[in-house]
A and B are shown apart, each in its own frame.
Chain A
Amino acid sequence: MSVELGLIIPVSHRMDDLGAILDLVRTGLEATGRTYEILFVLDGERPDRLEVARKLAAGSKGVRVLSLARAFGEGAALRAGVRSTTAPILMTHPAYFQVDGEVIPKLVEALDDGAEVAFASRLPTKESLSNRIQRWAFNAAIRKALWVRYRDVACGVRAIRRDVLDELSVHGSFHRFLPVLATIKGFQVREVDARQHEQATHRRVYSPTTYLLRLLDLVNVFFLLRFTQKPLRFFGLVGGALFAVGFAICLYLSILKVFVGAQLGERPLLLLGVLLVVLGFQTLALGLLGELVTFVQSSPSKGPPIREVLRRGSTVDDSEEPELSATVDEKPL
């Protein structure tokens, strides 16, 4: 049985009442008037959660329950969900309340309207100040580091076309940045305003580790987007600068030694200079190793996807398999 919409609910650390969440998304999905399935993907097999999810699935049609044999994180749960559904449009919803369910049909509409990725964006509400500050900081950091301007990319209610997701190669915990990644890769991304759910406003405080991990994710995304193809441009620039400073210090000291006859033994500056030279070289060498990785991964057959090929008198749409584009369809233009 193939369905039109596949909605994935990853169940990880944070969760509200799953039954209520199910009601919420089901109402939203019903409003689209399409066939759908809902997948609960449990991150790890905690018996109590499994029990709850199983009961929900038994009580209603179109609900499936998957579980990861071990806790691998939300990203892994999402991917497992994506793999086990065949729906051409994928949606995600967190296992807790974020926005009202009426945004779901709006997201699907946005995709019909030409968007390739659509995500809900929480409108400012009576939410606690600390929550709002956190969200603002996260989005501001994205704006500064990646030059992509959205109000609320962290909202987990999203819709994406399957072929787009395949092309995006989202790994690790990068799903958080999905709208940003898609925007930078040139996809059509739409932000859809949504009212915040009334139960989503309680104050959230995470451990310092969580904040640190988010920051590292951001740095990682920034690096991957800008320099995956050309790692030496990053490492080279940094390494080159370190080397230049180190070299300048050494040169200065050499001049002092030769012309002034200064005693270098009492000058820690010499060690600093030498260490900077060494560090600069190491950084450069790491960049070269990165280039080697890129080269090894490149291949003659890889390349950007072709949306459409027109031949005089015929038209072929081959966004799926660019290599096969020469199989000419005999349809008249």
Chain B
Amino acid sequence: MATSAVDTKGWDLSIVVPLHNEEENVGRLHPRIVAACDPLGVRYEAIYVDDGSTDGTWAELRKLNGGAGEIVCAQLARNSGQTPAMAAGFRLARGRIVVSMDGDLQNDPADIPRLLEKCDEGYDLVCGWRKNRQDKLISRKIPSKCANWLIRKVTGVQVHDYGCSLKAYRRPLVQRMRLYSDMHRFLPFISQMSGARVTELPVNHAPRIYGTTKYGIGRTWKVLFDLITLKMLVHYSSRSLFWFFGLAIVPLMLSAGFMITTVVGGIENAVVLFGCGIAFGTLGVFMLFLGLLSGILLGSDRREFEHLIVREHGHPAEAPA
């Protein structure tokens, strides 16, 4: 495991906060995390990941202090995006439970104890659900509602709010997930691919006061294509290699339909119908070959089952408290 060098003994909780140009919020966030976590009486660390900020975020982070937990500030070499920044924070995390949250003060650290409780009920992932979301209706809430509905339909994971960053994980899950590009939106789904037990919990949400949002409506089309990818990966994760073969069936049937019509019907525009038959037949065969190619690709996956959670039973450390 990549994390073998990390001494995780005795750590209960890691809070991972990716930050990009949030100089006004950092100093305000930390006391609230402290206020939420100190009363728990657990050994915790707050991990702040500065994702290549160009403002005074890093300087603010250096000034942080206070609280019973340890403060860990990591600076990425350059701006890498929210998902990679989060992944970097996860790599550093030592806690038995890892909580991720936004650094813009819209998530409330006061929810952390409840997330922990829920985790200890035996869940690997507890997703925050911004039931009373404090954002602009047209540009943020409605697109988000649509996206969530679509993701739910496609992935079959029944979580209301995929976009909420406030989540609690068991560490084994966090360090097994394959996080890349914009995958943070689909974390619940990726977790379920690992066999994780996923649930959700309503959390507080505050309007943004300081700094500017890094999201806009322009990313909707990206979500759409990411979803198609996920649909494919669902099948991949359960080893049904034949997804492309499935895609081949429709054009092959269309092709057969056209050809049979041509032959049986013997009607006037046979050339056109037969042409269509050939075109769709080509597509079907193409898909079949792609299916074979995908088989080669998947065969080259060295980390094939690395993302799966393997539980050891009867071991006191892994059992839910």
Contacts and interface: CB of A to CB of B under 8 A. Distances in A.
A19 B207 CA distance: 69
Contacts, number: 180
Interface in B24-81: 52, 61-62, 64-65, 70-80
A300 B307 contact: yes
Given A319-B77, A326-B6, A311 B72 contact: yes
Interface string B217-255: 000011011101100110010000000100100010000
A134 B125 CA distance: 57
Looking at B61, B229, B294, the one whose CB has the most chain A CB atoms below 10 A away is: B229
B297 interface: yes
Contact of A285 (B3, B88, B247): B247
B282 A298 contact: no
A25 to B, nearest CB: 30
Nearest to A278: B283
B222 A233 contact: yes
Contact of A232 (B71, B228, B236, B275): B228
Interface string B90-116: 011010000000000000000000000
Contacts of B298: 292, 296
Contacts of B84: 303-304
A301 B271 CA distance: 56
Given A229-B181, A324-B5, A312 B269 contact: no
Interface in A276-298: 277-278, 281-282, 284-289, 291-296, 298
Interface string B277-288: 001101100110
A230 interface: yes
B117 interface: no
Interface residues of B, number: 72
B61 A310 contact: yes
Interface residues of A, number: 56
B227 to A, nearest CB: 10
Contacts of B303: 299-300
A185 interface: yes
B68 to A, nearest CB: 11
Interface in A222-247: 229-230, 232-233, 236-237
A76 interface: no
A270 interface: yes
A319 B79 CA distance: 15
A133 B92 CA distance: 51
B92 A309 contact: yes
A44 interface: no
Contact of A309 (B73, B180, B233, B286): B73
Interface of B: 2-3, 5-7, 52, 61-62, 64-65, 70-80, 84-85, 87-88, 91-92, 94, 175-182, 221-222, 224-226, 228-229, 232-233, 236, 244, 247, 251, 268-272, 275-276, 279-280, 282-283, 286-287, 290, 293-294, 297-298, 300-301, 303, 306-307
Given A233-B225, A323-B2, 14 more contacts: A236-B224, A263-B269, A270-B276, A277-B279, A285-B286, A299-B306, A300-B175, A300-B178, A307-B77, A308-B74, A309-B75, A309-B92, A310-B62, A311-B70
14 contacts: A230-B226, A232-B228, A264-B269, A271-B272, A271-B279, A278-B279, A294-B181, A295-B178, A298-B180, A303-B88, A305-B77, A306-B76, A308-B74, A323-B3
